[in-house]
Amino acid sequence: MSLIPVVEFLGRRLFHSGIPGASDYLRHLTLWLGFLGASLAARDERNLKIASLTNWFPGPLQSVARMYAGVASVWVCGVLFWASLQLVIAEAPAAPEWVRNAMSEGMAAFFEARLLFEDGGLVKVGGLVPVWIAESIMPLGFVMMGFRFLWRTPPGWIGRLVAAGALPAAIAVAAGLGDSASALVIPGILLLLAAALFGAPIFVLLGGAAALLFWGDMTPVAAIPAETYRIVTSDVFPIIPIFTWVGYILSEGNASRRLERVFTSWFGWIPGGIAVAATLLCAFFTTFTGASGVTILALGALMLPVLKANRYPESFSIGLLTSTGSLGLLLPPSLVIILYGVIAHVPIVDMFLAGILPGILMILPICLLCIWVGRRTSADRRKFHLREALHSLAGAVWEMLLPVLILGLILTGLCTPVEAAAIGAVYALVVELGIYRDIKPRRLFRILVDCSTMVGGILLVLGVAMGLTSYLVDAEVPIHAAHWVEEHIHSPWVFLLALNLGLLLVGCFMDIFSALIVVVPLLLPMAQVFGIHPAHLGIIFLANLQLGYMTPPIGMNLFLASFRFNRPLMRVAADALPFVVVTAVVVLLITYVPWLTTAFLSVE
């Protein structure tokens, strides 16, 4: 996936010719990578989840709650398998007649309206592979995930039998309800929410809710995989796996140690300088991974001993590393900024420019807090040695040039964002594998599997969330919400405050990727009522979700830090509280001073 755009870029620049169908191949490789990776995530229990409440239950209740979550997961995977199978069948040129006869009239009409034909022939990926073959990974992926959830449903064979019987029972009930199905939509969604709180993956909640809503509206549920296919195979989506690959390459090598030496040698002489270096290092990594969890898990074990060895209080160190895992989300080339630009139809270059000042402003107060703590404690300070600083910079020069390379290629217009990401991935691989030789070739397969697992978990959530968003848009929920806001809220200041509070809750309960897909289309019409620039709305959105990640007691970063540092959740929450307060002040400043976002944009 990284090589195709690079070869395409070089061929276009040098020979005025590229790879025929390159974009098609790349987009459908993203689809296959997403579903194979999601199957790996199900195997390894690494699907994105809301923090499970079952750990607070006594032993017998834990088993019951987990069995309930397993049954819900199997049910949703079964429904999505059947829905995606219908999509594949409808676009196959010679589907068995008995299968086509089994499709309802509404289902057949739905697919007849969206059959993909071009010049009288079935559309093919890159002109070679029929699109229905490319789509076949969706039912295959859902059935593999369903069997994984089925096999893990506690307690043993009893749980597996209950889970196996849940799907046909639910389908039989649904078939008998007919037009009264809409009465069970809200109870069904509440049951799915309970399953998510008991440990079911987020995609189960979103995909199941979308299925119930379509079912209650008598619309073919196959609209969900159709929307999944559409969003995952969009032109910009390959950026997500490619940039995630860059982050994994950097974290698996010794880049973190070299960069830690750079930031320490350049900033260690000021009070709190080691903590400042840790802040900048975490922000750097989050910019490329797009996920604070990777930063906390990858750098937490490295930086906590460094901070404690330099006599920083343990509570301060844990709070700092918990909060700084999200700092780089606003800085280019952040994945979430790119994803917001795709969803909101804002040029990615504009989003990069919009995030520069707010991103710096999010980092600066944390650095000042580190300096203040450094002055008040016995934390070590290091003398500045120009020679050591230059040596450290020379030792990490290849990695320091990576963001410059990627941003330079994008901002100068030399290549597309996908091509820039791919060039960055090949560059990072050459640096870590060939120049520094931190990564041995035999480790590449394991790194690829780990990266694919994370990418699959993300893309699956995005895909099913797009199905839910499609229903909300078809039901004109964003338009109705905008009308309600226009009638009841007359001050843009009040709207922005309500937006802050609402997004804070979203950040506590949803991962940032699914929140972007589900919530952004709802907010855009409301923001237009008050004349809020879409780029400004995006930065407000991401800044609030960044704050929600570390807000006690349910922010996602708190659970990850509790796991990484082996500390009680509420202790981690108390350690992070000063950073939450500082970040909240900055979020309000970003919200109410739009110039910080639009300073580099040409706003009419």
Question: Per-residue pLDDT for 144 more than 90?
Answer: yes
Count of domains observed in the chain: 2
pLDDT of residue 19 exceeding 90: no
Residues constituting the chain: 604
Model confidence pLDDT, tens digit, residues 517-536: 788 888 888 888 888 899 99
pLDDT band at 164, cuts 50/70/90? confident
In a domain, 545, yes or no: yes
Sequence-distant (≥ 6) Cβ neighbours of residue 21 within 8 angstroms: 125, 126, 127, 128
**314 pLDDT higher than 50:** yes
Range 502-507 average pLDDT: 79
User: Would you say residue 460 lies in a domain?
Assistant: yes
Least confident of 80-94, 309-323, 389-403, 410-424: 80-94
Residue 142 above 90 pLDDT?
Answer: yes
* Residue 61 neighbours by CB under 8 Å, 6+ apart: 54
Q: Please, which pLDDT band fits residue 115 given cuts at 50, 70 and 90? A: very low
Is a pLDDT exceeding 50 seen at residue 301? yes
Residue 585's pLDDT is: 92
Residue-by-residue DSSP string for 408-474: HHHHTTSS-HHHHHHHHHHHHHHIIIIIS--S-GGGHHHHHHHHHHHHHHHHHHHHHHHHHHHHHHH
- 188 shares its domain with 90: yes
Q: Would 570 be classed as within a structural domain?
A: yes
Residue % of the chain over a pLDDT of 70: 84
Residue 119 has pLDDT above 70, yes or no: no
| CA atoms lying within 13 Å on the CB side of residue 466 | 21
Question: In this structure, are 158 and 262 located in the same domain?
Answer: no
**Of residues 236 and 78, more confidently modeled:** 78
Q: How confident is the model at residue 481 (pLDDT cuts 50, 70, 90)?
A: confident
Residue 294: what pLDDT?
61
Q: Is residue 2, in this structure, part of any structural domain at all?
A: no
Q: What pLDDT is attached to residue 51?
A: 59
Same domain, 156 and 302: no
Residue 11 belongs to a domain = no
Contact 106, 218 (CB under 8 A): yes
Q: Are residues 195 and 304 in the same domain?
A: no
Q: Please indicate, yes or no, if residue 515 is contained in any of the structural domains.
A: yes
- Given a cut of 60, whether residue 604 has pLDDT beyond it is no
For the residues 303-323, what does the mean pLDDT come to? 83
Q: What is the rounded average pLDDT of the residues 267-276? A: 80
133-142, 215-224, 235-244, 371-380: range with highest mean pLDDT: 133-142
Instruction: Please tell me whether residues 455 and 509 are part of one structural domain.
Output: yes
Q: pLDDT value at position 113?
A: 42
Give the orientation angle of helix 202-216 with respect to helix 185-197, to 10 degrees: 180
The reply to whether 250 and 151 lie within a common domain is no
Is the pLDDT confidence value at 120 over 50? no
Mean pLDDT of 274-302: 72
Q: Which residue has the higher pLDDT, 278 or 558?
A: 278
Report the C-alpha gap between 303 and 281 in whole angstroms: 9
The verdict on 543 and 452 lying in the same domain is yes
| The last residue of a domain, from among 189, 209, 232 | 232
Asked whether 422 and 1 are in contact (CB, 8 A), the reply is yes
pLDDT at 118: 37
Is 507's pLDDT higher than 60? yes
Domain boundary (181, 204, 232) is at 232
Task: For residue 121, name the pLDDT band (cuts at 50, 70, 90).
Answer: very low
Is 80 exceeded by the pLDDT of residue 171?
A: no
Q: Which domain holds residue 520?
A: 239-598
User: Does residue 167 register a pLDDT over 70?
Assistant: no
Mean pLDDT of 294-305: 69
Last residue of a domain, one of 232, 251, 276: 232
Would the pLDDT of 174 be above 70? Answer: no
Residues 570 and 532 in one domain: yes
Show the beta-strand stretches assigned E in 477-549.
Answer: none
Q: What is the pLDDT of residues 432-463, one digit of tens each?
A: 898 888 888 888 898 899 888 888 887 888 78
Section 57-64 average pLDDT: 75
40 CB-side CA count, 13 A: 19
More confident residue, 50 or 141: 141
pLDDT for 30 beyond 50: yes
Calpha distance 172→174 (Å, rounded): 5
Most confident of 51-65, 184-198, 254-268, 283-297: 184-198
Mean pLDDT within 570-574: 81
Q: Quick one: 280 and 189 in the same domain?
A: no
- Cross-strand partners of 130: 124
Q: Looking at residues 589-604, what average pLDDT do you find? A: 82
The single residue listed with the structure tokens 């330079």 is 408
* Whether 99 and 227 share a structural domain: yes
Q: Give me the pLDDT at residue 427, please.
A: 92
In a domain, 22, yes or no: no
Q: Based on the fold, state whether residues 352 and 498 are members of the same structural domain.
A: yes
How confident is the model at residue 312, as a pLDDT? 83
**Both structure tokens of 235:** 């032109």
* Percent of the residues in the chain that have a pLDDT greater than 90, as a whole number: 9
User: In the predicted model, what is the mean pLDDT of residues 224-230?
Assistant: 86
Mean pLDDT of 196-217: 86
Of these ranges, 17-21, 38-42, 380-384, the one predicted with the greatest mean pLDDT is 38-42
Torsion sign over Cα 6, 11, 12, 14: positive
User: Residue 479: pLDDT band by 50, 70, 90 thresholds?
Assistant: confident
Looking at the fold, whether 556 and 575 belong to one and the same domain comes out as yes
Of the ranges 176-190, 336-350, 484-498, which one carries the lowest mean pLDDT score?
176-190
Is residue 213 assigned to a domain?
A: yes
